[in-house]
């Protein structure tokens, strides 16, 4: 499906289903993941438990219900490593696999709208033109809504 772009902070607009990319190397403290961890600490706790138990794999997804409002936060495991140096850490193959799984999950669970940041681009170092094309191909069962922070020039 075609992506709908909106301006705003993904965590402040009342979306009930949020998906973002993260790594499989134990880092969940910066970027969108860091903001999610601050707002919904149970998401980071579940991520860390699964990381320590070696249950997360590149291309997998993890749906965690969080907060008193019952928001679903879906971790898309798209980065084998993480860093802060501007290098490319996102794996486009993992994005493809995770979004295929997300589309099937949306169909099974009746998720008709899923909100995203410009995932895989800042900390992940990926190109939005590539990631967005993969997202549009694999959003057959849900409407992808992408939030762009005010002032973001990408």
- Per-residue model confidence as pLDDT tens digits over 79-105: 999 988 889 999 999 999 999 999 999
The contacts of residue 87 (CB under 8 Å, 6+ apart) are 125
Inside any domain, residue 153: no
Inside any domain, residue 97: yes
Inside any domain, residue 154: no
Inside any domain, residue 11: yes
CATH number at residue 116: 3.40.220.10
Return the residue matching tokens 């991520």: 47
Query: What's the domain range around 81?
Result: 4-148
Domain count, the chain: 1
Q: What is the mean pLDDT of the chain?
A: 95
DSSP 102: H
Inside any domain, residue 138: yes
Single pTM value for the model: 0.95
């Amino acid at each position: 499906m075609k992506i709908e772009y909106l301006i705003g902070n993904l965590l402040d607009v009342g979306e009930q289903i949020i998906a973002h990319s993260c790594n499989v190397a134990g880092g969940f403290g910066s970027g969108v993941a860091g903001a999610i961890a601050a707002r919904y600490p149970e998401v980071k706790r579940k991520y860390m438990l699964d990381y320590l138990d070696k249950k997360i794999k590149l291309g997998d997804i993890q749906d965690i219900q969080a907060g008193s409002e019952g928001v679903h936060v879906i971790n898309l495991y798209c980065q084998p490593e993480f860093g802060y140096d501007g290098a490319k850490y996102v794996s486009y193959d993992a994005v493809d696999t995770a979004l295929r799984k997300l589309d099937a999950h949306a169909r099974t669970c009746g998720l008709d709208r899923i909100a995203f940041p410009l995932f895989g681009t800042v900390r992940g170092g990926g190109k939005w033109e590539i990631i967005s094309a993969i997202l549009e191909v694999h959003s057959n069962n849900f409407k992808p809504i992408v939030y762009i922070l005010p002032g973001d020039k990408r």
